[in-house]
Amino acid sequence: MDCFPEANGDFNLIVDDRADTHISSADGRLYLGWFPDGRPGAEEEGWVLAVTGTAKVPGYRVVFDPQTPARLVAATVSEVLATARRQ
């Protein structure tokens, strides 16, 4: 969670009634979902990182299984955020 500069309002955090966690950027271009028991209908998906594309840069989606260490996901998110800042 330290990757997300919540203090400046750039990201929104929601924990739903299943205890799934959803983080999205204020502009809607980045989404990270954590599904401890797997995503409904796709139990092999524990983490979902999605980035919406632009006219110049294509979007993409990265999925990790529920057993993927949070540190690996955090490193991936940090790299995505760093890359976005350079563009």
Query: How many distinct structural domains can be found in the chain?
Result: 1
Predicted pLDDT of residue 16: 93
Range of the domain at 13: 6-86
pLDDT tens readout for residues 9-68:
688 889 999 999 999 988 888 999 999 988 888 889 999 999 998 888 889 999 999 999
Percent of the chain with pLDDT over 90: 49
Predicted pLDDT of residue 9: 66
Give the span between the Cα atoms of 83 and 22, in whole angstroms: 21
1 occurs within a structural domain: no
pLDDT tens readout for residues 66-85:
999 999 999 999 898 888 76
Would you say 39 and 33 are in contact if contact means Cβ atoms under 8 Å apart? yes
